[in-house]
Amino acid sequence: MTAHEDRFVPLDGAFNFRDLGGLPTADGGVTRTGMMFRSDALHHLYPADVDVLTELGMRTIIDLRSTVELERTGRGPLESTDMQWLHAPLSHGDAAAGRVLPPALAEGDLGRHYVESLDERTETLATVIEHLATRDYLPAVFHCTAGKDRTGMVAALVLSLVGVSDDVIVHDYTLTDDRMVFVMERIRASGDFPEPVTPMLERVGRAEASSMEKFLAALHDGYGGAEGWARTAGLSDDTLVSLREVLVAAG
């Protein structure tokens, strides 16, 4: 497996941008490097950061943030590039707007929150996966604000669908934990969120293994795994085959 420190892309305006390549699959393959990335918010990028993404050949930005977050911050400097952009909101924006939080978030139960989001956002998640299965959209990066929760869900689903084991998915999820202190500092300094939201962010500001383990367990218990979920989401055999072809190289 590619060392985790080698998968992070150093940027001045984002702290949690990393390549999802180099991860082993059950059939002896490995996820392709330079094809699929995950990240925290991208609207704070500097011109030099945009140059880095351009050099990576980035074709598509998949924005998982709510409409509330998007309207507050805008897309940032990537809007002026030729990179394609897909808005695929995986939350209603209640937290970002300082309104009443979903119960699981209010209780700090991230695993349960992910499970509930899986049911509520099936169509959006399916659209994201269809994009990631399409060669013409790659390389692509998907991101939310911290690159942890909504981004973590998408990463877990896609990696599971191409045969990456649960323990590797959990490990990738926890890599965000060390980056959260920088993400939280940026959120507080930037004013991207209203003040009432920041205490909530502290309560859910960790990327602990137990949260992703709970999500993956629910995926297995409720659907028989990621592929079972994909079938209920309406994803076709062709899409699932294409996802593996474009994202996995033979070992």
Q: Which of 47-51, 56-60, 194-198, 203-207 has the lowest mean pLDDT?
A: 194-198
* Placement of tokens 């033979």 in the chain: 250
Cross-strand pairs, 63: 87, 143
> What pLDDT shows up at residue 201?
60
pLDDT tier at 203 (50, 70, 90 boundaries)? low
> What pLDDT shows up at residue 199?
55
> What pLDDT shows up at residue 170?
97
To which H or E segment does residue 132 belong? helix 122-132
Two structure tokens written together for 245: 């072809």
d(CA 136, CA 18): 21
* pTM of the model as a whole: 0.93
Between 69 and 16, the higher pLDDT residue:
16
| Mean of pLDDT values over 72-100 | 83
> What pLDDT shows up at residue 86?
98
> What pLDDT shows up at residue 2?
47
Say which residues have a Cβ less than 8 Å from residue 71's Cβ, sequence separation at least 6.
Answer: none
To which H or E segment does residue 87 belong? strand 84-87
| Mean of pLDDT values over 57-72 | 94
Tell me what percent of the residues of the chain surpass a pLDDT of 90: 76
> What pLDDT shows up at residue 108?
79
Say which residues have a Cβ less than 8 Å from residue 4's Cβ, sequence separation at least 6.
Answer: 18, 171, 172, 175
> Quick check: 97 pLDDT over 50?
no
Tell me what percent of the residues of the chain surpass a pLDDT of 70: 90
> What pLDDT shows up at residue 251?
72
| Mean of pLDDT values over 214-226 | 96
pLDDT tier at 1 (50, 70, 90 boundaries)? very low
Question: For the segment 136-191, what is each residue's pLDDT rounded down to a tens digit?
Answer: 999 999 999 999 999 999 999 999 999 999 999 999 999 999 999 899 888 888 87
| Mean of pLDDT values over 67-86 | 94
> What pLDDT shows up at residue 58?
98
Q: Which of 18-27, 66-75, 151-160, 188-197 has the lowest mean pLDDT?
A: 188-197
> What pLDDT shows up at residue 139?
98
